[in-house]
Amino acid sequence: SREVIDVVHKPDFFPAFMGRVASLVARVPARVHTLHSVYDWYPSLVFPIQRLLGRKTDVITGVSGPVLDYSRSRERLPVDKYRLVHNGADESRFKPDRQARDEFRRSMGWSDDDVVVGSVGARTPRKGHPLLAEAMIPLLVNDPKLRMAVVGSSVGKDIDTKPRIDALAAQAGVGERVQFLSPRPDIERVYRSFDIHCMPSDVEGLSFASIEGLMSGCVSVFSDLPAFREVVDSGKTGYLFQRGDVLGLRQSLVQAAAIPWSDPVWVERARKHAVDRFGQTRMLEGYASIYEELGARSALSRARG
């Protein structure tokens, strides 16, 4: 028997535009569109197109509540089209591991008592890495055991923030303790080596990195964005600071640095929150439920002729 496609599922704008148009031409019965961010940097023409294609889309999922709220406000589609399916990270992969932590830190030349503040994300202005550098440099000057590491690469035509951070660090004489790492397949080893995972972003949907760091035992310090409020209970599973506030970020980093990486109460509480709400298993179950619903609907429609 010939296999039949019942559901086409595409993310974001450009892949979803192509996938939904192709699925309509091919008469695929159902379409799912997943939104990963608020996309407020997209040109205004995008939103009427989203609205038009949304009318022919069965389910629109968002990786966080704020993402869905933004889509509802811009595209004004029927409420029953929208579903919340949080991003989910692999809880079996991202977890604390003392031996792996020690091995990676030795490979980087970091000592056991160094305090490493890391940030995983593309080197674009939206991720706010220069703000992290501005907040950290006075702390680096005063504490020789403090280090900053950024894991990510430049993206397309976006401004690469590395030159600005390098200049700030060199001017303060701490350039050797501000490091840049390229994206790597064993990113779980990197998270385990951090004491603090900082995401000072200007905009986020719900970054996988925010969940992965939390699962790996890092103390999280994130900007106070709506999506990050879903991830962090400030003071209990991490710290939130007002977006763009250098002094607020610096204060949060000092608070986070006072929590030892091995604190079992903190690590277990943060990890449990991440796994319970943002585990990969929960995410997959959410999408599977949507596919089953739409697949059954398509099968019924075919049976009726």
How many angstroms separate the Cα of 286 from the Cα of each of 91, 204, 282? 16, 21, 6
pLDDT of residue 169 exceeding 50:
yes
Structure confidence at residue 303 (pLDDT): 63
User: pTM to 2 decimals?
Assistant: 0.88
251 phi and psi, to 5 degrees?
-65, -40
Q: Residues 8, 57: contact at Cβ < 8 Å?
A: no
Q: Please, which residues bridge with residue 150 across strands?
A: 119, 180
Structure confidence at residue 38 (pLDDT): 81
Structure confidence at residue 100 (pLDDT): 93
- The CA-CA-CA angle for residues 286, 269, 235, to 5°, reads 105
Q: How many CA atoms lie within 13 A of 255 on its CB side?
A: 18
For the chain, the straight-line distance linking the first and the last C-alpha, in angstroms and rounded, comes to 18
Element holding 84 (H helix, E strand): strand 82-84
Burial of 11 (0-12, 13-18, 19+ CB in 10 A): middle
Angle between helices 208-215 and 264-278 (to 10 degrees): 140
Structure confidence at residue 1 (pLDDT): 44
Structure confidence at residue 75 (pLDDT): 85
pLDDT digits (tens, 9 = 90+) for 235-290: 888 999 999 999 999 999 999 999 877 688 888 898 999 999 999 999 999 999 99
β-pair type (59-62, 115-120)? unpaired
- Range name among 87-91, 236-240, 288-292, 301-305 with the lowest pLDDT average: 301-305
Confidence class for position 123, pLDDT limits 50, 70, 90 = very high
pLDDT of residue 42 exceeding 90:
no
pLDDT digits (tens, 9 = 90+) for 52-78: 999 999 999 999 999 999 888 888 899
Q: Give the pair of three-digit tokens for residue 18.
A: 């192509």
